Amino acid sequence: MLSVGLFAALSAGGDALRSAWRAGLAESWQVHGCDFASGLVFVDGRCQRAADVVSPPELLDASAAGFAFGVATSAYQVEGGVREGGRGPSIWDTFSHTPGRIPSGDTGDVACDHFHRFEEDFALLAALGVSTYRMSIAWPRVMPDGRAINREGLRFYHALFDRLLELGIEPLVTLYHWDLPQALEDEGGWRNKSMIVPAFSRYAAAMFTEFGPKVKVWTTFNEPATFVFIASDLGIHAPGRCSHREICAEGDSLREPLLIAHSVLVAHAHAVAALREQSGAGGTCERCRVGMVNCIKLAAPMNASRDADWQAAQWRMESELGIWTDPLYFGDYPRSVVLASGDLLPPFSAEERSLLKGSADYFGLNLYTAQFAAARFSRPNAADMGVMATSSAELNGEEGDLIAQWRETTGAAAGPREPVGEPGPTGWLFAAPGALRTTLNWVAQRYGQRTEVIVTEAGWAGMRESSELPLRIALDDQDRIAFLFEYVRAAVQARVVDGVNVSGFVIWSLLDNFEWNNGFGQRFGLVRVQYDDGLRRLPKASFSWLQRLISNATAQHTGARALLRRTAQRADQSTSAQARTLRASTAMLGALALGTTVAAAALSVRRAARRRAVAMGVADGVGVAEWSDGDEQLARGLLPMCDGTDDPLERMRHSGAD
């Protein structure tokens, strides 16, 4: 029976989620009663201003060495220049110019004018000190009709990549961030698998060939769950298809999303195969790596003492995240998704499964917030299917199907004292840093502890950034600093404490930008864009905070390297027993990691040298004395003090949820 099979499929996963969830809740699920809106975070047992603390303490641990920081944008959201440089129209050009689609009437025609001002924006990147810039290529700029190459578009991106590399910043490049050429949509878009898979594969191969010598880290798709389900289930993203005839002229919310999901995954597999043909020695994309970026609102059980709610939460994780990531690591969909979807989800062929399995060199995770999940056992309706259908899609009498029994709330509370997180101004975004740590643990448990994870997006729409406010208030985004502090800390905790292979943290976004169906109304940038004043760029307080965070980390890394070199030189110049002790200690230091803090390096070597000297029968203190007072002062002196949509239908759907 289907319900029994689905229960069995979710039970083990629910147990794993329980373990990951405990890790995330250990210290950081909530904000400890600190005044989040004022930028306060919980450090050393008390509430302190994140802007004053600067670095989460965990970032000083040796295990955090090499942790990379970056910021992100995407082509349609910042570039503008939609009719320049030979660019063709995209589905977002069409959608944003359709009356009523963007309530504010905003479009991406100009956006932040990054097309003309990228030098200015890259100067901001350099000032920040980030090592990574995540961006996307606009498919219609390089292939206006989705097929033929536009050399002028290629020259634009060559100029971007050249400048980034001159600044020592690595581009992390997305091939598809939702701006499908309109010409391909006119042929059926992602619904037409036989057309779109080879079209995307040719596009990907051309980009790898053209830019492979300059771009070494690639993403095939950004957040397919968003552009598939919000666009073709709710119909409020381009191309705007759904079963709600008051919203969409055409579409099928029940069937189209899963057909599109299948096409996207197969297109990813073929694109990765094209890259790997070029990534070997001597290839045009030598040593290139590729992955997919996925998003999730962590599902937390509404009632943590109820097994069914754990299974409901696991269903959310598998149906919204695992549906995309299981194929990349295991070659097929989660069993729960297959059981629940029936014939709505096309199966992979043997060749497709082979291409998909192992098709991600890293796991890209976008996480902003969390929601509660609860099991519901009553007459089903399509609204209960979450991403699998909407209130306008009929279940056709499948009353016993468990897919209809999972119901999530938007996180107002599981109880009067259990908020999902600190509420923001958007209606969907709650600050829940423990959700990030929990999800990172979930990923490691499901796909292996060695799986590299990059937090490719996390960000905050400020509470006090309205255009009506005085500029000095709008730029003082202490709430964003607190959000980023806590989320960076959660990611580093997952790395340092839990052993998850988290390699970096990318902030959304460098600039305020066009936030899709919300237009310019939500501001996520570290830099304010004055839309009514010539698009002036004004760095916010969070920009300065991130500068200091990265500067501190860089100083620690550089100082540790210098200390390690001096230690090795002293050891090489001596043949004494003390020097042999010091050499052993130096080797131990190197094993810890070059990026450790100078203080941690000095103290580790001093303590190890003392222990080894005693063990060798050398007088206590011999060997340690070779450390100068200057080294000690240097060591002490350098110690510093991962989208959503505000959808009214979704809000109505979940109002009164129990």
Question: pLDDT of 431-487, one tens digit each?
Answer: 999 999 999 999 999 999 999 999 999 999 987 787 778 999 999 999 999 999 999
pLDDT at position 586: 28
Res 144 pLDDT > 70: yes
Q: pLDDT-based confidence at 21, cuts 50/70/90?
A: low
Q: Is the pLDDT of residue 90 over 70?
A: yes
DSSP 8-state secondary structure symbol assigned to residue 368 = -
Q: Which residue has the higher pLDDT, 356 or 427?
A: 356
Q: Give mean pLDDT, residues 340-350.
A: 95
Q: For residue 79, indicate whether it is catalytic.
A: no
Of residues 400 and 299, which shows the higher confidence score? Answer: 299
User: What's the average model confidence in pLDDT over 179-186?
Assistant: 99
Return the CATH fold of 2-554+642-654.
TIM Barrel (3.20.20)
pLDDT band at 555 (very low <50, low <70, confident <90, very high): confident
Picking from 147-156, 207-216, 566-575, 601-610, which range would have the lowest pLDDT averaged per residue? 601-610
Q: Which residues make beta-bridge pairs with 529?
A: 537
* Of residues 657, 612, 180, the one with CA closest to residue 409: 657
pLDDT exceeds 80 at position 158: yes
CA-nearest of 385, 228, 391, 202 to 295 is 228
Clarify whether 465 is annotated catalytic.
no
Supply the angle between the helices 151-166 and 193-211 in degrees, to the nearest 10: 50
| SS3 per-residue string spanning 7-65 | HHHHHHHHHHHHHHHHHHHCCCCCCCCCCHHHCEEEECCEEEEHHHHCCCHHHHCHHHC
| Least confident range of 36-40, 247-251, 404-408 | 404-408
At 604 the pLDDT is 36
Residues 6+ apart with CB under 8 A from 38: 49, 478, 479, 482
pLDDT of residue 317: 93
Q: Tell me which of 290-299, 498-507, 553-562, 565-574 is least confident.
A: 565-574
Q: 623 burial class (0-12, 13-18, 19+ CB within 10 angstroms)?
A: buried
Q: Which residue has the higher pLDDT, 606 or 430?
A: 430
Q: What integer is the mean pLDDT of 258-271?
A: 99
Q: What is the residue-wise DSSP string for 63-104?
A: GGTT-EEEEE--HHHH---TTSTTPPPBHHHHHHTSTTSSTT
Average pLDDT, the chain: 80
Average pLDDT over residues 217-238: 97
One-letter amino acid of 642: C
pLDDT attached to residue 37 = 86
Record the pTM.
0.81
Three-state SS for 132? strand
Contact 529, 535 (CB under 8 A): yes
How far apart, in whole angstroms, are the C-alpha atoms of residue 507 and residue 68?
11
pLDDT value for 566: 52
Distance CA 528, CA 539 (A): 6
309, 303 Cβ separation under 8 angstroms: yes
3-class state of residue 199 by DSSP: helix
Domain ranges of the chain: 2-554+642-654
Most confident range (mean pLDDT) of 54-63, 252-261, 393-402, 430-439 is 252-261
**Which residue in the list 210, 352, 457, 486 is annotated as catalytic?**
457
Q: Which of 210, 223, 256, 465 is catalytic?
A: 223
Could you tell me which residue, 24 or 598, shows the higher pLDDT?
24
Is residue 601 within 8 A of residue 620, CB to CB? The reply is no
Q: Would you state the pLDDT for residue 372?
A: 82
